[in-house]
Amino acid sequence: MNYQDLFSKALSGMSGNIIREITKVTQQPGFTSLAGGSPSPDCFPARELQEIAAEVIEKKKIAALQYGASEGYLPLREWIAGWVKEKGINATLSQVIITSGSQQGIDLLAKTFLDPGNRVLVENPTYIAAIKIFSVYQSVFEPVFSDGDGIIPESLEEILNQKACKLLYLIPNFQNPSGVTLTAQRRKAISEIVSRHNLILLEDDPYGELRYSGEMIPPMKASDPDGRVVYMGSFSKIICPGLRVAFSIGAPEIMQKVAIGKQNTDMHTSNLSQLLIYEFCSRGLLPAHIEKCCNIYRKKRDMMLELLETHFPAEVSWTKPAGGIFIWAKLPAGVSSMEILKEALKEKLAFIPGEDFFASGGGSNTMRFNFCNITSAQMEDGILRLGQLIKRFLTNK
Amino acid sequence: MNYQDLFSKALSGMSGNIIREITKVTQQPGFTSLAGGSPSPDCFPARELQEIAAEVIEKKKIAALQYGASEGYLPLREWIAGWVKEKGINATLSQVIITSGSQQGIDLLAKTFLDPGNRVLVENPTYIAAIKIFSVYQSVFEPVFSDGDGIIPESLEEILNQKACKLLYLIPNFQNPSGVTLTAQRRKAISEIVSRHNLILLEDDPYGELRYSGEMIPPMKASDPDGRVVYMGSFSKIICPGLRVAFSIGAPEIMQKVAIGKQNTDMHTSNLSQLLIYEFCSRGLLPAHIEKCCNIYRKKRDMMLELLETHFPAEVSWTKPAGGIFIWAKLPAGVSSMEILKEALKEKLAFIPGEDFFASGGGSNTMRFNFCNITSAQMEDGILRLGQLIKRFLTNK
């Protein structure tokens, strides 16, 4: 039977996410992988979560196992509303909604705001899954130039002076894939542009807690007088991703639509997942745990930066992120990271080629490395071999 | 700020689900509730799940807490493929996908197949959340007449002879809200119509395991030579709903799209949830647990049927379901169940008025009772008082 004619416009031409395809391959034994967006299992508080689970499933049977509210587990929402105050975000309970990962937050916000053909502004490059999600809603992309300080306000304004857009999607801290952080000055300039052009801003901040150097910059949601910003935070990178618990914070009118959207997809996020995250956080375990993760990841970042300096040819440049989990490298123009990946996979070495992070093409000479989820020995071996491979490509060019 | 102009067509006019709104109210102390679609917490295997959690989180740390495959936890998918063979469904691994509740299965299938304006055939009445989900995809509803044997094949064919439709949504066993089961003869007739009119059939079977009398009727997926049927099963009613674990089974080409759809919403279902369900099932605990639930629920069904007979006026009729969790009652034409609900809520008594289960209106004289999630004392009190209230309404009419 031929299904192709029956598929919706939204999905008929949609292919899988390259990261998840490459990640499947790298799960074979013997692979050295700089690919994927996973945090390190060394940073999962498995013992604590197991102890909590062993205590609360029977004791809080209804909360853990019965149907729950689409908006999320009330004590967790309250805890989050308190927690984000540290970042300068003032949120009432009706502004906080639990999502099954921030990725679902992006999806529900897209569902709330986007009709086919609506224009969405994105950093160039940006998170692949966000590009995929906005594509499902048949959005038109308007990629905005970015540099080492994040998205460029003048480029944003230039586009908006020509075209009406609905939504701006940003990852201001330790961006995926570039590792770049948007400066405080630019955050202010962009907020003004967002307001002037009647945009909704999705501020995606999954890595914000993982800062290894420099000072925290307040989120854009912290100064949002009109209620144009929806802030998305996540426990995936600071506790663990497998439980699928994240949150979105926005104006009550927006979050009411998000709740209805959620009611009509997965009804609510796994209650046991929410309960474990809540118990872990409310018992005061999070600050020390984040510090522990930062110490582990800081060393890994420093090590990878050193290895790149040692083994990569001078023609390649890369970012030096102040946090997060990614380093982003640029090959000379005309060198294809996808071609390099093909060779690398033959010798059981993987990274993510950068092309798919560009919503409107380009970037074929870029590549993304995850420095968190890899042992020191693998990192040494991987960067050494990749450096050699790149040198071979540059010589033969 | 005015958000209304910015909201998408999909959500701008969408309101919340009446069941979830009423359920919120009934959580106040002292309420007697026949509302909601929740199973009884007495049937949640909390002790077993807690024991499993206390054992496996550390031992299977990566499987439980790291990112996982969008298609679901492989051992669980394998276990399900084996389990559904008992019902006559032959499924390879690539045909089984784990979803965050069957509700997400409906959403992902709608996303896979439906463009705005596509026609969807539904039973009349049918599951409210399915109506809501198809509405998000801006579907046009074609409700099909149903009787005590389920959807009527001739009515289905009559519509299809006039209009091209894309999808038929059915709950063949102990339907929500009616409790009715589609006969074997009608399943066959409907399969033929589905094939002749090039339809996709979503067979939603969350209650199938909860049969209290009569013989199991094979699912429509068991005879599906063209691969037109997507079967949805769930652990929500037979283990617990709070973990949000269900599954969809369909042709590989369809399930590949569903997996891409899932990748672009919540990425994957909570791994810990999947692991707990898998361990519970693979340890062989499910059959005895289902039997235990059936024994509890059978008694409750019988008790509610007796109470209705005793306390309800002769002008009211109701279904006698062979399984599931719902009884469906019909008041004389012109009597509004919504008006009765308003009075009932004043005396802390709740049920679900039937109107919202009808995709194109009607049914204002119908009501749904959940007989599972209520104590014997509450059931006696509730049906007695509701009977009195209805009698008052009929007298004053």
Residue linked to tokens 């079967």: B231
d(CA B285, CA B279): 9
d(CA A31, CA B153): 56
CA distance A158 to chain B (A): 22
CA dihedral A378, A383, A385, A390 (to 10 degrees): 160
pTM of the complete model: 0.97
Rg (CA), chain A: 21
Which tokens sit at A44? 């999962």
Give mean pLDDT, residues B77-97: 97
Give mean pLDDT, residues B147-154: 96
Contacts of A66 in chain B (CB under 8 A): 38, 41, 44, 240-242
Contacts of A62 in chain B (CB under 8 A): 41
The residue in chain B having the minimum alpha-carbon distance to the alpha carbon of residue A165 is B6
- What confidence tier does A84 reach under pLDDT thresholds 50, 70, 90? very high
DSSP single-letter state for residue B211: B
d(CA A49, CA B65): 10
| Helix/strand/coil for A122 | strand
Contacts of A240 in chain B (CB under 8 A): 65-66
The residue in chain B having the minimum alpha-carbon distance to the alpha carbon of residue A244 is B270
d(CA B233, CA B242): 15
Cβ contact B100:B270 at 8 Å: yes
Which pLDDT does position B28 carry in this prediction? 83
Contacts of B7 in chain A (CB under 8 A): 112-113, 257
Q: Which of A2-11, A252-261, B132-141 has the lowest mean pLDDT?
A: A2-11
Give mean pLDDT, residues A179-186: 98
Would the pLDDT of A17 be above 80? no
Give mean pLDDT, residues A112-122: 97
Which tokens sit at A125? 């490059």
CA distance A65 to chain B (A): 4
Which tokens sit at B40? 């009884």
ipTM over 0.90: yes
> Hey, what amino acid is at A116?
P
- How does pLDDT run across A231-261, given as a tens digit for each residue? 999 999 999 999 999 999 999 999 999 999 9
Burial B78-97 (b: 16+ CB within 10 A, else e): ebbbebbeebebebeeebbb
Nearest Cβ partner of A272 from B36, B111, B273? B273
d(CA B384, CA B349): 11
Cβ contact B109:B202 at 8 Å: yes
- What confidence tier does B1 reach under pLDDT thresholds 50, 70, 90? confident
d(CA B86, CA A68): 32
Cβ contact B264:A107 at 8 Å: yes
Residues in chain B: 397
Handedness of CA B348, A255, A250, A17 (dihedral sign): positive
Return the ∠ at Cα A243 (arms to A79 and B54), rounded to 5°: 95
Which pLDDT does position A396 carry in this prediction? 81
Which pLDDT does position B76 carry in this prediction? 98
Cβ contact B36:B20 at 8 Å: no
CA distance A311 to chain B (A): 30
Which tokens sit at A66? 């019965």
| Helix/strand/coil for A1 | coil
CA dihedral B257, B260, B261, B267 (to 10 degrees): 150
CA distance B306 to chain A (A): 28
Residues 6 or more apart whose Cβ sits within 8 Å of residue A5:
none
Q: What does each C-alpha distance from A11 to B117, B251, B252, B264 come to in angstroms?
A: 16, 16, 15, 10
Q: Is A8 exposed, middle or buried (0-12, 13-18, 19+ CB in 10 A)?
A: buried
d(CA A353, CA A19): 9
| Helix/strand/coil for A338 | helix
Nearest Cβ partner of B3 from A20, A243, A254? A254
- In chain B, what is the straight-line distance between the N-terminal and C-terminal CA atoms, in Å? 47
**What number of C-beta contacts closer than 8 Å exist between A and B?**
257
- How does pLDDT run across A356-390, given as a tens digit for each residue? 999 999 999 999 999 999 999 999 999 999 999 99
Question: In the predicted model, what is the mean pLDDT of chain A?
Answer: 96
Contacts of A241 in chain B (CB under 8 A): 65-67
Among the listed residues A219, A245, A231, the one whose alpha carbon sits nearest the alpha carbon of residue A169: A231
Higher-confidence residue of B296 and B36: namely: B296
DSSP single-letter state for residue A333: T
Nearest Cβ partner of B61 from A44, A133, A166? A44
Contacts of B57 in chain A (CB under 8 A): 46, 49-50, 53
Question: How many Cβ atoms are within 10 Å of B384's Cβ, its own excluded?
Answer: 15
Cβ contact A203:A232 at 8 Å: yes
- What confidence tier does A397 reach under pLDDT thresholds 50, 70, 90? low
Q: Report the run of H or E that residue B19 belongs to, with start and end.
A: helix B18-26
CA distance A217 to chain B (A): 26
Put simply, the answer to whether B65 touches A242 (Cβ < 8 Å) is yes
Put simply, the answer to whether A66 touches B276 (Cβ < 8 Å) is no
Axis-axis angle for helices A102-113, A252-263 (nearest 10): 110
Which pLDDT does position B75 carry in this prediction? 98
> Hey, what amino acid is at A115?
D
d(CA B240, CA B237): 6
d(CA B11, CA A111): 7
Give mean pLDDT, residues A39-60: 97
Would the pLDDT of A24 be above 80? no
Q: Left if phi > 0, otherwise alpha if psi is -120 to 50, otherwise beta: which for A284?
A: left
Q: What does each C-alpha distance from A107 to A132, A261, A306 come to in angstroms?
A: 10, 9, 38
Would the pLDDT of A262 be above 80? yes
Would the pLDDT of A336 be above 70? yes
Q: Report the run of H or E that residue A21 belongs to, with start and end.
A: helix A18-26
How would you classify the pairing of strands A326-330 and A366-370?
antiparallel
Which tokens sit at B224? 């599906």
Higher-confidence residue of B79 and B12: namely: B79
Give mean pLDDT, residues A165-169: 98
Put simply, the answer to whether B266 touches A61 (Cβ < 8 Å) is no
Put simply, the answer to whether A270 touches B100 (Cβ < 8 Å) is yes
Contacts of A248 in chain B (CB under 8 A): none
Contacts of B6 in chain A (CB under 8 A): 113, 166, 198, 200
- How does pLDDT run across A269-327, given as a tens digit for each residue? 999 999 999 999 999 999 999 999 999 999 999 999 999 999 999 999 999 999 999 99
- How does pLDDT run across B17-54, given as a tens digit for each residue? 777 778 778 888 889 999 989 999 999 999 999 999 99
Put simply, the answer to whether B115 touches A200 (Cβ < 8 Å) is no
Contacts of B10 in chain A (CB under 8 A): 111, 115
d(CA A23, CA B70): 12
Residues in chain A: 397
Please give the backbone phi and psi of residue B157, each rounded to the nearest 5 degrees, phi first: -65, -40
CA distance A200 to chain B (A): 9
Which tokens sit at B382? 């509730």
| Helix/strand/coil for B341 | helix
Give mean pLDDT, residues B256-284: 97
Which pLDDT does position A341 carry in this prediction? 95
> Please, how many CA atoms are within 13 Å of residue A146, restricted to the half-sphere of its CB?
30
Percent of chain A past pLDDT 70, that is, above it, reads 100
